[in-house]
Amino acid sequence: MNNLTRLSRWAGISIFLAGLLAGCGGNSSASLSVALNTQPKTADDVHQGVQLLKNGIQKFQVELLTQDGKPVDRAHVEVSPGSQYAQVKFSLPEAGAYQIRSSAFMPDDALLGTTLEPVRVQAGDNKVVIDNLGLAALYYANNTHLAQSQSQAGLEKFLSYDQPGISLQAYCFFGYLEDEGSNRLAYFSLLQRLNQPISEGTLSTRVPVIMAGSGIGTRNIAGFRTSGSFGVAGVLNQISLQHQPWDASVTTPNLPGAALPQNQTRAQLVSGTFGQKGARYRITSSGQDAQGKLMTTNILVEDSMGFVSEGFGANAFLPNWLLPEQENVVRSHFGGSVEKYLAATQNPLTGQGSYYYSAPYLKVVNFEVKYDDSGTVTAKGTGGLLWMDVVYQTFEDAAINVIKDASWSFFIMQIKGADGKEQAIMTTRVGTKLSNYQVSSLFGADAKKNPNGVLEPEYRWNLQDIKIEPIRGSEWRSPASGASYYTKYTVKLGGARPANLTVTMDWPEQELGVLNRYVYEGLGNVSGTLDGKPVSGTAWLEMQPIGKL
């Protein structure tokens, strides 16, 4: 549900350069031939390896980059049946230091993985042989070279297939449901595959772990009532993704004698165009909770805004942290604007972020919640508002080391002013040993759209303009974990679109515990000013205990 653990990885390649010196000096022309093994050795990832053996590689996208990641040239290479290598050749204006980024795709355009490696090109003819395939390298780009950034159909297709080369694939819904008595229920639902690193002695691999389920919280429930699935992916426990229309589900069997033979969590497009304003989605779940009781949810929502880009560039790349030298340049040369820094330098920040999309305004059309074995309707209604996050990320061992002791705060706010205009703000702070990275963006339906139909932010606040402060005296101590949390915060945003907002939890008891791990998240209210005018609305928070951030 947070955007912290969405980190990227690339694997090294074995490379052979045969340079024939055709002249002196660094300005001599050169060529680079790239041979791509169609049956490469994969990274230590079970899911990726299984998919490679099952489906094979259909095509490669090969990019020639400068030493600092700026694009120079690219090519698409179709794989001929039975061929061991696919070939592509680049002509370069001069010799020097470059990088080759090659991405392999399955027949349905799902991404199998990426290889990224620096190469030294000499004048004359050079050759590179790529025999390995690493996990997908997610990166910033201000071009539309990636399929999901080229068109609305490309984005839908990318988000509608399992992407085995990407370590984390998550679809999250959270917000509130309002019943017939005007009572608000905190609600979340999650479908996620995470390829988790597992080590045993000298052996190391990555195993796909599935987490899916739903949770309901009210003033009368201590924490959340949850049901769902968790465990290593297998034949009976995996994310099922179907294209046209988008349909994601996880189904797992229960033990004999359980309240329900199986648990299922599902989210599907039922009308309209995926990711666009007017689309309707149905989110359902059925399963037994920790007390062995049956819980089912059935929620229909309509998107009144459409997908927005939480990240930067055409591929919605959202950094999770900045290296100290990067942050220094952002602050000293670009006024604290990460957006301006990336656009000017085209620094890909490979391994530092995620592809991150949101649907901030999913209005509840109707819902029904049942709890207990008799199928009694606990709550139903036609009110509420949800937020959807779609996040893809790849984990690299070095990156995990950066954030293993990280802490974070995550605020999403759905606001309206006196004019009734719907806007949304996401503000996140991630603290690592390298940086205390903050990002905050304002979204609205009138903003500019990218070629894939995704809305850009109306405004992004610079690093120094974001201040998140807890309000003393709002502490609440959890009887379950013993941890303490603030239940009231101020979010102050400066710059050209100033905002002064106060976020207050609807009720304090909103700690979520899963497998003896605890985090505080839940429903709140927001009030204050944006551009000097009063606004109010709802909020969803995720945060760690006091002292963690």
Quick: pLDDT tens for 192-225: 998 888 877 777 788 888 889 999 999 988 789 8
Instruction: Measure Cα distances from 227 to 163, 233, 266 in Å.
Output: 26, 18, 13
Q: Write down the H helix ranges in 254-412.
A: 324-333, 338-345, 397-403
Q: What is the 3-state secondary structure (H, E, C) of 96-134?
A: EEEEEEEEEECCCCCEEEEEEEEEEECCEEEEEEEEEEE
**Which helix (DSSP H) or strand (DSSP E) does residue 155 occupy?**
helix 152-158
Mean predicted lDDT score pLDDT of the chain: 88
Short-list 456, 452, 357, CA closest to 147: 452
pTM for this entry = 0.91
Would you state the structure tokens that stand for residue 312, as one six-digit string?
A: 């930067």
Predicted confidence at residue 244, as pLDDT, reads 65
Higher pLDDT, 221 or 426: 426
Predicted confidence at residue 543, as pLDDT, reads 85
**Which helix (DSSP H) or strand (DSSP E) does residue 154 occupy?**
helix 152-158
CATH code assigned to 149-543: 2.40.370.10
Own/partner contacts of 511-516, CB < 8 Å, gap of 24 or more, are 511/223, 511/478, 511/480, 511/481, 511/483, 511/485, 512/215, 512/223, 512/224, 512/226, 513/223, 513/480, 513/481, 514/226, 514/230, 515/230
Predicted confidence at residue 518, as pLDDT, reads 84
Task: CATH 2.40.370.10 in the chain: give the residue spans.
Answer: 149-543
Predicted confidence at residue 371, as pLDDT, reads 86
Q: How far apart are CA 330 and CA 179, in angstroms?
A: 47
* Confidence category of residue 401, pLDDT binned at 50, 70, 90: confident
Whether cis (ω within 30° of 0) applies to the bond prior to 245 is: yes
Instruction: Please state the length of the chain.
Output: 549
Q: How far apart are CA 283 and CA 196, in angstroms?
A: 26
Pairing of strands 30-42, 124-133: parallel
Range 30-137 classified under CATH 2.40.128? no
Task: CATH 2.60.40 in the chain: give the residue spans.
Answer: 30-137
Higher pLDDT, 26 or 514: 514
Higher pLDDT, 292 or 91: 91
* Confidence category of residue 18, pLDDT binned at 50, 70, 90: very low
Given a cut of 60, whether residue 13 has pLDDT beyond it is no
Q: Among 119-128, 237-246, 294-303, 348-357, which is the least confidently predicted range?
A: 237-246
Given a cut of 90, whether residue 10 has pLDDT beyond it is no
Short-list 2, 3, 5, CA closest to 404: 5
Torsion (CA) 395, 397, 400, 404 in degrees, nearest 10: 140
Instruction: Measure Cα distances from 127 to 17, 92, 133, 262, 468 in Å.
Output: 5, 13, 18, 54, 52
Short-list 468, 543, 472, CA closest to 511: 543
* Confidence category of residue 26, pLDDT binned at 50, 70, 90: very low
Q: How far is CA 26 from the centre of its chain?
A: 42
Predicted confidence at residue 20, as pLDDT, reads 26
Predicted confidence at residue 140, as pLDDT, reads 95
* Confidence category of residue 372, pLDDT binned at 50, 70, 90: confident
Higher pLDDT, 204 or 239: 204
Average the pLDDT over 506-521 and give the result.
Answer: 86
Instruction: Measure Cα distances from 35 to 38, 77, 100, 404 in Å.
Output: 9, 10, 11, 37
Predicted confidence at residue 546, as pLDDT, reads 61
On whether the CB atoms of residues 540 and 523 are closer than 8 A, the answer is yes
516 contacts: CB under 8 Å, gap ≥ 6:
none
* Confidence category of residue 3, pLDDT binned at 50, 70, 90: very low
Predicted confidence at residue 239, as pLDDT, reads 64
